Amino acid sequence: MTRVYNFSAGPAALPEAVLKQAQEEMLQWNGAGMSVMEMSHRGKDFMSIAAKAEADLREIMAIPDNYKVLFLQGGASSQFSMIPVNLLAGKNKADYVLTGQWSKKAVAEARRFCEVNVVSDTSDSRFTTVEDQSKWSTSSDAAYLHYTPNETIVGVEFPFIPETDVPLVADMSSTILSREIDVSKYGVIYAGAQKNIGPAGLTIVIVREDLIGKAMDNMPVMMDYKTHADNDSMYNTPPTYSWYIAGLVFQWIKDKGGIKAMAEINERKAAKLYQAIDDSAFYSNPVDVNCRSWMNVPFILANAELDASFLEEAAKVNLMTLKGHRSVGGMRASIYNAMPEEGVDALIQFMADFEKRNG
Ligand code: PMP
């Protein structure tokens, strides 16, 4: 059976080389006589897998030594509450940039713990833009500034890193590893794994050490970064298999030339897809050109009645999971690192053919 080009927003496509290696190692890993899934997380085999994954992630992202890397569960959604619980540190206010559905959820969760000051709200433009930072209304007493560099649903991506004196917190779920970033500009970076890192079930948190150990009183131990930092993410049983696959993905990125090389491919893939959309009168993308996502490319057809046949015919040529998010409609092509350039080429070709027949 052929593998399709899977444009899912997440869980998303994984590199085929990674899946093949996992297949080869499925029954027994490296002479251990058992699958990674069956290993104790405290045994030397899994400890070596875990340590290598962390070391490789540190290398590809150039994570400074004064940051901890945590391998947690609970998804990015758990971080929506773990952020205020750990970072308020006695303050009662936090600044949030509202640029889409995911930052909206982060705001709602933070409101359970503190006053939230929304510094910029682009809901009036249906989240199709990012407001210049000079127009933001930041507060003087915020504990931190939270933003979502890439909003997965509408496909809006920050063209800049916000400047701030307070710890900068980023939900990088759908952009981590897609381009180089300067980790030292951040207090906390977090991401659910199921887009650009590996399988669902793993959440990566990269946190500056001085921000650890200040959690609110009487919070569950599992919500305190210190619990996980002090125990190398093994206070309880971590998501071992997802951690292992993430490690294979980090190795794959290294083999490909690192994040710089990935970014060049990503930029090219996105540019040609947006070009195809802009060149046609049949497809359109509503996001401001300077903040269009490299990872999630939504587009709508001139006639929404053709949506069903677009999806049906795309599936026949192995282009899958292109349906847009229910709140936006139309289509969305998520083109994370694991989507080969040929997949984007095939989509562009199909879009042109479909337009010729229906436009
Ligand atoms: N933030 C962003 C930007 C996302 O795209 C998603 C998931 N699509 C989430 C948060 C929620 O992640 P999780 O399902 O891992 O809780």
Domain boundaries of the chain, sorted by first residue: 16-255, 258-358
Helix (H, G, I), strand (E, B) or coil at 214: coil
**Quick check: CB of 354 below 6 Å from ligand 1?**
no
**Quick check: CB of 152 below 6 Å from ligand 1?**
yes
Best of 8, 71, 73, 77 for a ligand 1 pocket test (most atoms within 8 Å of beta carbon): 77
Distance 204 CA to ligand 1 centre (A): 12
CATH of domain 258-358: 3.90.1150.10
Q: 7, 4, 60, 43: which is closest to 249 by C-alpha?
A: 60
Cβ proximity of 188 and 167 under 8 Å: yes
Distance 85 CA to ligand 1 centre (A): 19
Q: 178, 177, 173, 175: which is closest to 74 by C-alpha?
A: 173
- Torsion over CA of 194, 198, 199 and 204, rounded to 10 degrees? -70
Class of the domain covering 16-255: alpha beta
pLDDT score recorded for residue 359: 82
Q: Which amino acid is at 65?
A: D
**Quick check: CB of 239 below 6 Å from ligand 1?**
no
Distance CA 330, CA 349 (A): 18
Distance CA 171, CA 236 (A): 24
pLDDT score recorded for residue 280: 96
| Structural tokens at position 185 | 């500009």
Distances (CA, A) of 263 to 92, 149, 193: 38, 15, 18
Same fold, 16-255 and 258-358: no
pLDDT along the chain (359 residues), means of 10: 94 98 98 98 98 98 98 98 98 98 98 98 96 97 98 98 98 98 98 98 98 97 98 98 98 98 98 98 96 98 96 98 93 98 98 95
User: Strand (E) positions, the chain?
Assistant: 5-6, 67-72, 93-98, 115-121, 145-147, 150-151, 156-157, 168-171, 188-192, 203-208, 283-284, 296-301, 319-320, 331-334
Dmax of the chain from CA atoms?
63
Distance CA 220, CA 109 (A): 16
Distance CA 317, CA 280 (A): 21
Which residues, 6 or more positions from 19, have their beta carbon under 8 angstroms from its beta carbon? none
Cβ proximity of 283 and 300 under 8 Å: yes
Residue with the smallest CA separation from ligand 1 atom 9 is 76
**Quick check: CB of 99 below 6 Å from ligand 1?**
no
- For 120-164, the DSSP string reads EE-GGGTT-----GGG----TT-S-EEE-SEETTTTEE-SSPPP-
Cβ proximity of 143 and 179 under 8 Å: no
Distance CA 68, CA 233 (A): 10
Q: What is the set of active-site residues?
A: 102, 171, 195
Distance 44 CA to ligand 1 centre (A): 32
**Quick check: CB of 125 below 6 Å from ligand 1?**
no
| Structural tokens at position 329 | 């409609």
Three-point CA angle 320, 73, 57, nearest 5°: 75
**Quick check: CB of 286 below 6 Å from ligand 1?**
no
Residue 103 CA, chain-centre distance (Å), reads: 13
Which residues, 6 or more positions from 237, have their beta carbon under 8 angstroms from its beta carbon? 41
Label residue 359 exposed, middle or buried (CB < 10 Å: 0-12, 13-18, 19+).
Answer: middle
Helix (H, G, I), strand (E, B) or coil at 171: strand
Cβ proximity of 64 and 183 under 8 Å: yes
Residue with the smallest CA separation from ligand 1 atom 12 is 76
Distance 295 CA to ligand 1 centre (A): 14
Distance 282 CA to ligand 1 centre (A): 30
pLDDT score recorded for residue 328: 87
The minimum-distance atom of ligand 1 relative to the CA of 150 is 3
Cβ proximity of 7 and 335 under 8 Å: yes
**Quick check: CB of 296 below 6 Å from ligand 1?**
no
pLDDT score recorded for residue 327: 86
The minimum-distance atom of ligand 1 relative to the CA of 80 is 10
